[in-house]
Structure 1
Amino acid sequence: MQPSTRSTRGDGGRKELIVSVYVDDLIVTSACTEDINSFKHEMAARFRISDLGTLSYYLDIEVRQGKEELMLGQSAYASKLLERSGKAECKPCVTPMEERLKLTKASTVAKVDATLYRSIVSGLRYLVHMRPDITFVVGYVSRFMKDPREDHWAIVKRLLRYVKGTVDHGIIFLKDRQE
């Protein structure tokens, strides 16, 4: 999701208002609440809009805003992915992949359901947005999407077990303290 508009607003001050657009949904953010309210007022004068208030959920991304931090996560999405893969009740593990593991595209072990493999790995690729801790492994298992084998699927299953144990992980941004 790319910011679609970036403008300086106000009376010559350097106040930024960022508007992100996805189809017919907008996210409006700024350090200045008055600028946000002014923008909403201008939009309401031209279009019929609904103000849903403070952002809490958007495109399967959960937003939790505290006084000192902002947390972005995908625990609900991760749980749905675990259910879809049949791993909702699996035993969690503490690392996403074994050390020094070597896989190859020329594997001769049994083939697995390529459609299921691609679906689960694609779901993990979306989860990477808020989970940098799984980025390497997801990239690694993505190499085998064309012809997935049992040894490739074993790594995906281990990664899902790791996700099960870390389902509430996400990205935390500390807010600047204005003193």
Structure 2
Amino acid sequence: MRRRVKEELVAGLYVDDLIVTGTRAEDIDSFKREMTARFRMSNLGTLSYYLSIEVRQGKEALTLAETDEGQYHGEGRCTLYRSIVDGLRYLVHMRPDIAFVGDYVSRFMEDPREDHWAAVKRLLRYVKGTVNQGIVSPKTVGSGL
């Protein structure tokens, strides 16, 4: 958090998701430029969903509502996309062969387009066809505990 007289900038980071808010748009833009210069980042625009919290931004108020992943809340395709991609994020730990595509499709959690859906479907077909594959390492001599 950065704080000056009557000015604040707050950044929230969870794994690979970053949100930035503040009292001045110029400070937010400056912070984004700094982070983009140091890290590979993509700007997903106005916040509408973060850590299972739906964010609705209006002129007079900001509304936060915890979403139920089982319900669609009028944005069923986005919720389904998030659910599938979240599952793929866990699978990446056991299947490094899908790490690049898993990372790529997770960048579009806020607003998946048809080509993102196509990539996810293609990845799911690949996983289904290679379900018996895993991390292979040379055989070592040892004993179990």
What is the TM-score with the length of structure 2 in the denominator? Answer: 0.45
Which of these two proteins has the greater Rg computed from alpha carbons? Answer: 1
Normalised TM-score (structure 1): 0.37
